[in-house]
Amino acid sequence: MDSILVRGGQRLNGRIAISGAKNACLALMPAALLSDEPLTLTNAPRLSDIRTMTALLESLGCEVAALQQGRVLVVGTEAIRDHTADYEIVRRMRASILVLGPMLARDGQAVVSLPGGCAIGARPVDLHLAGLEALGAKLDLRDGYVHATAPRRLRGATFAFPTVSVGATENLLMAASLAKGTTVLKNAAREPEIVDLAQCLRRMGAQIEGDGTETIVIDGVERLRGATHPVVTDRIELGTYMLAPAITGGEVELIGGRRDLVAAFADRLEAAGVEISETAEGLKVSRQNGRIRAVDVVTAPFPGFPTDLQAQMMALLTLADGVSHLEERIFENRFMHAPELSRMGAKIEVHGGGATVTGVERLKGAPVMATDLRASVSLILAGLAAEGETRVARVYHLDRGYERVEEKLSACGASIERIHERAA
Ligand code: EPZ
């Protein structure tokens, strides 16, 4: 298994191009199931999660062509030949549940494995199921699978989410686009990935209004057509690389970066003493001398501070001058990076859904590993600032969501390399 070796202490200077968003692309690809004409996605990221979604769609009968080294994906679904999303794929990636709504809307049938828990929390899919039931789907849960039918087409309805869910909003947005009548989604997620999906569906002929607000209205149409759609910039990759010069010192321009995608995060970064400015091509982030200031962070659904940047922000705050409090409000078990950061000399106390970080003057490199994607990259950020060598194991987590991380960082002067190891 590969690992990443970081030798800390280099200030970073340069430019990093931000890729298309993994989490947007994972919702856009299943939208292709809604039409018998091909959906072309440009600006796609090249990640293992995208390959997993490709395998899932192919298992259902889609033809997926990856052009321009995977930057462009063409997904064609003349017919859905198999309506079962198998456990073997779903267990590898929870976003697999996003094929449920589209298959049900197009053909009135779908069988999808229940994903089960994961490292960051229980993550049930009850909201996806309740929403589809509100649209008239009949659901039967047996043998670890949800068997869903809607023989006479889904019907528009009003559904209020009891809690905000990105994935459930996406599933319902796709299902309602082909339902008969009008659907109103209340307390819907407002993430940029939702707006991106709605834009793509509109290009395919869907009638959607209100995306980006908490009430989305969808007038179902009889059929959707093919379209070409560029995947929105990855705001989590953007935020992660904004933290790189923040933690090491230096100045990095993030090409394609947009402040509106990361506003709450950018505000906290500025409060910590990091400079952010808009440029013709993106965002520039710089920190010259002096220590980071301690700041408090509370994660929340968009437009709040993203849970997917909490681990990376914690890495920065381990070096702050003072005490910071981080509160995780989205997932119940998302502090697994804390004990690993502590192995590098950080002072962190985790208590329930919160963590108190007492800043230290320096971190020391150490062998570390992580159990999820964002935790892994937080250890790389810490390694960039630490004295000596940090070896981050289990890089397959990283490859799910960060494209060519070592190339992007070393182009700015970081000493970082991938070590290929044969399995023992
Ligand atoms: C998406 O997951 C992202 N994944 C996650 O990114 C991200 O952390 C999360 O949204 C929150 O922003 C993708 O887009 C592929 P949710 P999702 O449904 O849709 C609870 C990363 O690192 N909930 O908004 O699964 C749930 O347990 C990943 O890239 C229910 O209770 O998240 C959580 O506490 C990790 N029932 C909260 O809602 C449900 O049916 C928000 O989850 C659904 C969710």
Residue 306 lies in a domain: yes
| Total domains in the fold of the chain | 2
pLDDT at 20: 98
Question: Burial letters for 237-246: b for 16+ Cβ neighbours within 10 Å, e otherwise?
Answer: bbbbbbbbbb
pLDDT at 116: 72
* pLDDT tens series, the chain, 424 aa: 889 999 999 999 999 999 999 999 999 999 999 999 999 999 999 999 999 999 999 999 999 999 999 999 999 999 999 999 999 999 999 999 999 999 999 999 999 999 876 788 778 999 999 999 999 999 999 999 999 999 999 999 999 999 999 999 999 999 999 999 999 999 999 999 999 999 999 999 999 999 999 999 999 999 999 999 999 999 999 999 999 999 999 999 999 999 999 999 999 999 999 999 999 999 999 999 889 999 999 999 999 999 999 999 999 999 999 999 999 999 988 999 999 999 999 999 999 899 999 999 999 999 999 889 999 999 999 999 999 999 999 999 999 999 999 999 999 999 999 999 775 5
Residue 257 lies in a domain: yes
Are 291 and 151 within one domain?
no
Are 224 and 329 within one domain?
no
CATH number for the domain spanning 223: value is: 3.65.10.10
Q: Which of 230, 249, 272 is the last residue of a domain?
A: 230
Are 322 and 269 within one domain?
yes
Residue 323 lies in a domain: yes
User: Does the C-beta of 374 come closer than 6 Å to ligand 1?
Assistant: yes
Are 237 and 285 within one domain?
yes
Tokens representing residue 279 in the block: 């440029």
Are 244 and 334 within one domain?
yes
Are 81 and 195 within one domain?
yes
Residue 59 lies in a domain: yes
What is the pTM for the complete model shown? 0.98
Find the domain containing 338 and state its range.
Answer: 3-19+233-419
pLDDT at 366: 97
Are 43 and 187 within one domain?
yes
Q: Which of 176, 195, 230 is the last residue of a domain?
A: 230
Phi/psi of residue 269, nearest 5 degrees? -65, -40
Residue 173 lies in a domain: yes
State the distance from the centre of ligand 1 to the C-alpha of 123, rounded, in angstroms.
Answer: 7
Residue 343 lies in a domain: yes
User: Does the C-beta of 390 come closer than 6 Å to ligand 1?
Assistant: no
pLDDT at 370: 83
User: Does the C-beta of 307 come closer than 6 Å to ligand 1?
Assistant: yes
Q: Whose CA is nearest to atom 13 of ligand 1?
A: 23
Question: Burial letters for 193-206: b for 16+ Cβ neighbours within 10 Å, e otherwise?
Answer: bbbbbbbbbbbbbb
Tokens representing residue 207 in the block: 């009638």
Are 379 and 293 within one domain?
yes
pLDDT at 423: 58
Are 207 and 264 within one domain?
no
Q: Which of 189, 207, 230 is the last residue of a domain?
A: 230
Residue 424 lies in a domain: no
State the distance from the centre of ligand 1 to the C-alpha of 163, rounded, in angstroms.
Answer: 11
pLDDT at 360: 98
User: Does the C-beta of 395 come closer than 6 Å to ligand 1?
Assistant: no
Are 151 and 168 within one domain?
yes
| Residues tagged active-site | 118
Phi/psi of residue 118, nearest 5 degrees? -145, 180
State the distance from the centre of ligand 1 to the C-alpha of 288, rounded, in angstroms.
Answer: 36
Are 86 and 182 within one domain?
yes
Tokens representing residue 371 in the block: 């159990």
Q: Using CA atoms, how far apart are residues 198 and 141, in angstroms rounded to an integer? A: 29
Q: Looking at the chain, how many residues does it have?
A: 424
pLDDT at 1: 80
